[in-house]
Amino acid sequence: MFLPANKQFEFWKLRRKGFANIEIAKANSISRQAVSRALLRMDERITETLLEMAKANQIEAESINSRYGILFGYSIPFKVNAVIFVSEKHGIQVWYEHEGDCDNCERYKRCMELLWDFADEMKIKLEKAANPTRLADELFERLRRLCHADRKN
């Protein structure tokens, strides 16, 4: 059974939220094997996309977790850590570790929204912080630990 890309992505989002393959299969009246094949294809696509984004942004990949849609790496031109991630609401995003003047930045509101939305998608509870840089540090450190724990399983 071939499933369209949008359906495969829906399954991927459900798995990322913690649903088991059997639950996804039952909810969609298809076999568990069809869900597994669709998720394998999505994992390949997610990995390819993350690596293409890394290449385009001159980021050296250190680790990738296709299950969560996250690549941790190092920006060669900026000489800082970077994270590329897939957000349901915001698409593919690149975040560079940096110390900014967030209070005077025109992107302050967008950064805060992006970080809070992605934390919600990943079911990560963050400390209330008014500084996007601090919020990002907490979020991506928690995600790094989550992805590291996922590799062990």
pLDDT digit string (tens) for the chain, length 153 residues: 556 788 999 999 999 999 999 999 999 999 999 999 999 999 999 999 999 999 999 999 999 999 999 999 999 999 999 999 999 999 999 999 988 788 888 999 999 999 999 999 999 998 877 789 889 999 999 999 988 777 665
**90: exposed, middle or buried (Cβ count in 10 Å: 0-12, 13-18, 19+):** middle
- Spacing of C-alpha 36 from chain mean position: 20
Contacts of 6 (CB under 8 A, 6+ apart): none
Sign of the torsion formed by the C-alpha atoms of 28, 32, 37 and 43: positive
User: How far is 33 from 11, CA to CA, in rounded Å?
Assistant: 13
Q: Are strands 80-87 and 70-75 parallel, antiparallel or unpaired?
A: antiparallel
User: How far is 133 from 98, CA to CA, in rounded Å?
Assistant: 7
User: How far is 37 from 7, CA to CA, in rounded Å?
Assistant: 12
The pLDDT value given to residue 139: 95
Looking at the whole model, is its pTM more than 0.95?
no
